[in-house]
Amino acid sequence: MSSAYHFLIAQPTVSSMSMSQLIWHKDIPLKILFFAWRLFRARLPTKDNLYRRGVIGADLRMCVSGWDSLESSSHLFLHCNFFGYVWHYIYRWLGISSVTPNTVTSHFTQFMSAAGGANPRQSMMQVFWFATVWEIWKVFENIHFEEI
Protein backbone atom coordinates (compact mmCIF):
# COMPACT_ATOMS: atom_id res chain seq x y z
CA MET A 1 0.00 0.00 0.00
CA SER A 2 2.70 2.49 0.89
CA SER A 3 4.60 1.84 -2.35
CA ALA A 4 1.41 2.52 -4.36
CA TYR A 5 0.93 5.80 -2.50
CA HIS A 6 4.55 6.85 -3.16
CA PHE A 7 4.12 5.98 -6.83
CA LEU A 8 1.00 8.15 -7.08
CA ILE A 9 2.55 11.17 -5.39
CA ALA A 10 5.90 10.94 -7.19
CA GLN A 11 6.54 14.11 -9.14
CA PRO A 12 8.86 14.34 -12.10
CA THR A 13 11.65 16.84 -11.46
CA VAL A 14 11.32 19.85 -13.71
CA SER A 15 13.93 22.56 -13.67
CA SER A 16 12.82 26.18 -13.75
CA MET A 17 14.21 26.49 -17.29
CA SER A 18 12.15 23.59 -18.63
CA MET A 19 9.11 24.78 -16.63
CA SER A 20 9.25 28.15 -18.37
CA GLN A 21 9.51 26.34 -21.69
CA LEU A 22 6.47 24.21 -20.81
CA ILE A 23 4.39 27.28 -19.99
CA TRP A 24 4.71 28.84 -23.44
CA HIS A 25 2.55 26.91 -25.90
CA LYS A 26 1.88 28.07 -29.45
CA ASP A 27 -1.80 27.05 -29.41
CA ILE A 28 -2.71 28.90 -26.21
CA PRO A 29 -3.70 32.59 -26.36
CA LEU A 30 -1.10 34.92 -24.89
CA LYS A 31 -3.46 36.28 -22.21
CA ILE A 32 -3.94 32.74 -20.86
CA LEU A 33 -0.20 32.06 -20.91
CA PHE A 34 0.42 35.29 -19.03
CA PHE A 35 -2.29 34.29 -16.55
CA ALA A 36 -0.57 30.88 -16.03
CA TRP A 37 2.79 32.63 -15.55
CA ARG A 38 1.20 34.77 -12.81
CA LEU A 39 -0.48 31.68 -11.31
CA PHE A 40 2.82 29.78 -11.07
CA ARG A 41 4.41 32.77 -9.32
CA ALA A 42 1.47 33.31 -6.90
CA ARG A 43 0.72 36.75 -8.34
CA LEU A 44 -3.04 36.44 -8.79
CA PRO A 45 -5.39 38.57 -6.66
CA THR A 46 -6.47 35.76 -4.35
CA LYS A 47 -7.39 36.74 -0.82
CA ASP A 48 -4.08 35.55 0.66
CA ASN A 49 -2.22 37.89 -1.72
CA LEU A 50 -4.64 40.75 -1.11
CA TYR A 51 -4.21 40.31 2.65
CA ARG A 52 -0.42 40.17 2.36
CA ARG A 53 -0.49 43.47 0.44
CA GLY A 54 -2.78 45.11 2.99
CA VAL A 55 -5.77 45.38 0.65
CA ILE A 56 -8.14 43.33 2.83
CA GLY A 57 -8.28 42.49 6.52
CA ALA A 58 -7.57 39.13 8.17
CA ASP A 59 -11.29 38.47 8.61
CA LEU A 60 -11.83 38.44 4.80
CA ARG A 61 -9.22 35.81 3.88
CA MET A 62 -11.61 32.85 3.67
CA CYS A 63 -12.49 31.26 0.32
CA VAL A 64 -15.63 32.57 -1.39
CA SER A 65 -16.91 29.00 -1.76
CA GLY A 66 -17.88 29.03 1.91
CA TRP A 67 -15.89 25.98 3.06
CA ASP A 68 -13.93 27.84 5.77
CA SER A 69 -10.53 27.53 4.10
CA LEU A 70 -7.99 30.25 3.46
CA GLU A 71 -8.14 31.36 -0.15
CA SER A 72 -4.83 30.82 -1.93
CA SER A 73 -3.96 29.76 -5.47
CA SER A 74 -3.28 26.17 -4.47
CA HIS A 75 -6.50 26.01 -2.46
CA LEU A 76 -8.60 27.62 -5.17
CA PHE A 77 -7.30 25.66 -8.16
CA LEU A 78 -6.62 22.29 -6.50
CA HIS A 79 -8.20 21.73 -3.11
CA CYS A 80 -11.37 23.83 -2.99
CA ASN A 81 -14.49 21.68 -2.76
CA PHE A 82 -16.22 24.02 -5.20
CA PHE A 83 -13.61 25.21 -7.72
CA GLY A 84 -10.86 22.60 -7.43
CA TYR A 85 -13.24 19.67 -7.63
CA VAL A 86 -13.44 20.06 -11.39
CA TRP A 87 -10.13 18.12 -11.60
CA HIS A 88 -11.90 15.04 -10.27
CA TYR A 89 -14.17 15.06 -13.29
CA ILE A 90 -11.34 15.75 -15.73
CA TYR A 91 -9.24 12.91 -14.30
CA ARG A 92 -12.20 10.59 -14.54
CA TRP A 93 -12.91 11.68 -18.12
CA LEU A 94 -9.27 11.12 -19.12
CA GLY A 95 -8.99 7.85 -17.17
CA ILE A 96 -6.24 9.16 -14.86
CA SER A 97 -5.77 8.07 -11.24
CA SER A 98 -3.87 10.64 -9.21
CA VAL A 99 -3.26 12.19 -5.84
CA THR A 100 -3.61 15.98 -5.93
CA PRO A 101 -0.27 17.62 -5.15
CA ASN A 102 0.08 20.62 -2.83
CA THR A 103 1.19 23.22 -5.37
CA VAL A 104 -0.14 24.40 -8.71
CA THR A 105 3.27 23.94 -10.34
CA SER A 106 3.48 20.34 -9.13
CA HIS A 107 -0.04 19.73 -10.39
CA PHE A 108 0.90 21.07 -13.82
CA THR A 109 3.97 18.81 -14.09
CA GLN A 110 2.01 15.82 -12.78
CA PHE A 111 -0.78 16.44 -15.26
CA MET A 112 1.76 16.72 -18.08
CA SER A 113 3.49 13.48 -17.06
CA ALA A 114 0.14 11.64 -17.17
CA ALA A 115 0.41 11.85 -20.95
CA GLY A 116 3.56 9.77 -21.04
CA GLY A 117 6.50 10.73 -23.21
CA ALA A 118 4.67 11.46 -26.46
CA ASN A 119 4.93 15.14 -27.41
CA PRO A 120 1.56 15.41 -29.21
CA ARG A 121 -0.17 13.97 -26.18
CA GLN A 122 1.71 16.24 -23.77
CA SER A 123 0.70 19.20 -25.93
CA MET A 124 -2.94 18.11 -25.65
CA MET A 125 -2.58 17.80 -21.86
CA GLN A 126 -1.14 21.32 -21.71
CA VAL A 127 -4.15 22.65 -23.60
CA PHE A 128 -6.53 20.82 -21.21
CA TRP A 129 -4.69 22.13 -18.16
CA PHE A 130 -4.52 25.74 -19.35
CA ALA A 131 -8.17 25.72 -20.44
CA THR A 132 -9.25 24.29 -17.10
CA VAL A 133 -7.37 26.75 -14.87
CA TRP A 134 -8.50 29.64 -17.09
CA GLU A 135 -12.16 28.62 -16.77
CA ILE A 136 -11.85 28.05 -13.01
CA TRP A 137 -10.41 31.56 -12.75
CA LYS A 138 -13.18 33.13 -14.84
CA VAL A 139 -15.91 31.55 -12.69
CA PHE A 140 -14.02 32.45 -9.50
CA GLU A 141 -13.44 36.01 -10.69
CA ASN A 142 -17.16 36.57 -11.24
CA ILE A 143 -17.99 35.34 -7.72
CA HIS A 144 -14.91 36.81 -6.00
CA PHE A 145 -15.16 40.38 -7.17
CA GLU A 146 -18.92 40.55 -6.60
CA GLU A 147 -18.25 39.64 -2.96
CA ILE A 148 -15.56 42.29 -2.29
Query: At 103, is the secondary structure helix, strand, or coil?
Result: coil
Strand partners, 62: 70
Query: Per-block average pLDDT, block size 10, for the chain (148 residues)?
Result: 60 51 78 92 92 92 83 92 88 87 90 76 88 92 64
Are 32 and 134 a contacting pair, CB within 8 Å? yes
Closest CA to 113 of 11, 24, 6: 11
What string of DSSP letters covers 11-61?
-----HHHHHHHH--TTS-HHHHHHHHHHHTT-S--HHHHHHTTSS-GGG-
Give the phi and the psi of residue 125 in degrees, each rounded to 5. -65, -35
